[in-house]
Amino acid sequence: MAVDHFPVEASHILMFARAIGDTNPIYHDESHAAGTEVGSIIAPPTFAQASAQFDPDYFLRPKAGQKWFGSGGTASGIIGGEKKEASNSEGEEKESGSAAGGLHAEQHFTYHRHLKPGDVLTAETKPGESWEKESKRAGVLKFSESITEYRDQSGKLVVTARGVGVVTEKVIEQ
Amino acid sequence: MSLNASEIKVGDSYSELIVEDLTRTQIVQYAGASGDYNPVHSDEKFVTEVAGYPTVFAHGMLTMGMTGRMITNYVGDGRLTYYGVRFVNQVWPGDTLTARAEIAGIREEDGETLVDLTISTTNQDENFVLTGNATARTS
């Protein structure tokens, strides 16, 4: 992932804070924020993840004119068209959950400073380590790590993110 | 508000109910705000018939975001220097989650007093859905 232009905007911070149920005025009320130690609206700690909005190739966003792997007339616009057995007979394993591109296993943020409206960030992602683990509930787990560095308009490192994704061999037993 | 180093000790803890009866609509709201439109989080037909899960489930990052709200309410705004988690169980519509921070250590670094926190979030069945750590500057 490479994001060339991630403008941090007050309205986006407001919507993000609402989505995580955070009514803290530091995320939406300029006059309140002006009287606090931080001095301005800031973004919640996990906001950097919303850089996905500004990644032109982000694969988990439908794009105009392209097929989408979620449902329309059929259960997936890409993967087959047939309905799978909703409930398999006992003891039979369901197919892999990897159709969805895997699951999020870990996320870490190191804050050099907190993001605020007016920042214009770039983000560069590099692959990290990869490893495998055996799990009773989901078969072989394939983990892969990525490191993303967010820099501000002056080129200064502001947030370092480390994500770990996992692709499971089969659907996780509930 | 921030944590005052002279008023805290290792073992102190803080917890919050971070969501009660999580709705599919809130998961959709998070998809829109974050830009992660993975259909496993909003598309019942896809998630049951193709991905093979019983219903849609929350983004790990929604749980991390809601848990982060508990942390910033405890340590203060703009005080975090690190926040990292593992997503250990999926979070489903209808779940009620409680997030907890416990002071694991207090240390000096570059003239500042930092507090290290152990973070966990559990569901209504007292199963962990998220475990992690955070570090914050105190005053």
* Best CA proximity match to B113, nearest among B86, B68, B81: B81
Q: Name the average pLDDT for chain B.
A: 97
Residues 54-73 of chain A with CB under 8 A from chain B are 58, 60-62, 68-71
* Contact between A94 and B52 using a beta-carbon 8 Å cutoff: yes
Q: Residue A91: pLDDT above 80?
A: no
Comparison of pLDDT for B66 and A83, the residue scoring more: B66
Q: What is the mean pLDDT of residues B15-21?
A: 98
Please tell me the CATH code under which domain A2-7+45-60+92-168 is placed: 3.10.129.10
Residue A86 has pLDDT above 70, yes or no: no
Rounded Cα distance between B124 and B139, Å, is 35
Measured between CB atoms, does A139 come within 8 Å of chain B?
no
- Domain chopping of chain A, boundaries: 2-7+45-60+92-168
Q: Is A83's Cβ below 8 Å from some Cβ in B?
A: yes
The phi, psi pair for B56, rounded to 5°, reads: -65, 160
pLDDT for position A169: 85
Q: Which residue of B has its CA nearest to A137?
A: B89
Structure confidence at residue A1 as a pLDDT band (50, 70, 90): low
Question: Is the separation of the CB atoms in B93 and B22 below 8 Å?
Answer: yes
What is the distance between the alpha carbons of residues B47 and B35, in angstroms, rounded to a whole number?
18
Instruction: Delineate the domains of chain B, giving CATH numbers in brackets.
Output: 5-137 (3.10.129.10)
Compare CB distances from A100 to B40, B78, B90 and report the shortest one's residue: B40
For residue A51, pLDDT beyond 60? yes
- Minimal C-alpha gap between B11 and chain A (Å): 23
pLDDT at A92 over 60: no
What pLDDT does residue B1 have? 67
Span of A75-79, A95-99, B72-76 with lowest mean pLDDT? A95-99
